[in-house]
A and B are shown apart, each in its own frame.
Chain A
């Protein structure tokens, strides 16, 4: 069995280091790996990245993360990723990696994702260049996620790690007018095509924790305001006969 801890939207600022340190204290005794579903920092400022890195570095477990929209605001993504990498955090974006835990392979494919909306209210590649660029960005991220998940077909378990939501069900509680900015059906479609055992996302602070894709893959909104606890824990049961 493999136990994963997951949380999103830590929004760490230079004034919030102790708060997140308290939240993640002991997670390395509870889980085999920690997954962070984006919005790691308040605005992607390098000082915020260092504050978070100082909290994460001492934790004795693998940490895998995707970035969120907040992490892009300051325009320092490369420095943020380097700072986190120096602290042992592996940031995935349109890529995948595998963890070995007690002989079990857990594959994790991740992307920040993007908006675009859901059935009945989607942004399409039509009209002004900015709208077309928006739509193309969402398509590209979904395509990369699908490819990354397909590389994990030999893994015992596959997890999709996102920031934006892949389904609308886990947005319930948010203002529906915001849905096109909170997620995209293209992410859910990519996951259903490639397959996964669990999907984790954040971004929607007023959303709902539990949902599933049209084919039944479990989706969990692990934004910390939604969880109401420090992080969520998931046991991936071995599917190998013993």
Chain B
């Protein structure tokens, strides 16, 4: 997994019971589906908005989650499920800066 400059100490996410993703490398499309299912159903994550790009030697994650701890949990979960691949975690947490504009209706 790509090192995070400020890794937060988080408990390892609980894996969903059906997260058996031991698929052969040729089944990349199915692996992506399995990972998406695992991210959506993992109790500590429950996120459907992650884009998963799977190749033979890496998994690239993008999209957004609601909190920094959730971002770390997504990366840790995927790395545990595909330990033989590099996991690149580009998932972001949306900015929470106050709005600077007001729309007139």
Contacts and interface: CB of A to CB of B under 8 A. Distances in A.
A101 interface: no
B67 A230 contact: no
Contacts of B89: none
Interface in A201-238: 205-206, 218, 220, 224-225, 227-237
Interface stretch (B18-26, B52-60, B76-84, B94-102): B94-102
Contacts of B69: 13, 15-16
Interface stretch (A4-12, A87-95, A114-122): A4-12
A211 B43 CA distance: 34
A73 interface: yes
B46 A70 contact: yes
A228 B95 CA distance: 5
B94 A224 contact: yes
Interface string B25-53: 00000000000000000011111010000
B94 to A, nearest CB: 5
Nearest to B69: A15
A23 interface: yes
B66 A198 contact: no
Main secondary structure on B side of the interface with A? loop
Interface residues of B, number: 28
B73 to A, nearest CB: 8
Given A12-B66, A227-B94, A232 B49 contact: no
A197 interface: yes
B104 interface: yes
A193 interface: no
B66 A229 contact: no
A229 B70 contact: no
B66 A10 contact: yes
A20 B104 CA distance: 26
Given A11-B47, A235-B103, A16 B97 contact: no
B94 A225 contact: yes
Contacts of B100: 229
Given A13-B70, A15-B67, A228 B94 contact: yes
A132 interface: no
A228 B100 CA distance: 12
Interface of B: 10, 43-47, 49, 63-70, 93-105
20 contacts: A9-B66, A11-B46, A13-B66, A13-B70, A15-B69, A15-B70, A20-B66, A42-B45, A42-B47, A220-B103, A227-B94, A229-B97, A230-B95, A230-B96, A230-B99, A232-B99, A232-B103, A233-B102, A234-B102, A235-B103
Given A15-B10, A70-B46, A230-B98, 19 more contacts: A12-B66, A13-B69, A15-B44, A16-B66, A19-B68, A22-B96, A30-B98, A42-B46, A198-B105, A205-B63, A206-B49, A225-B63, A229-B95, A229-B96, A229-B100, A230-B99, A231-B98, A232-B99, A233-B101
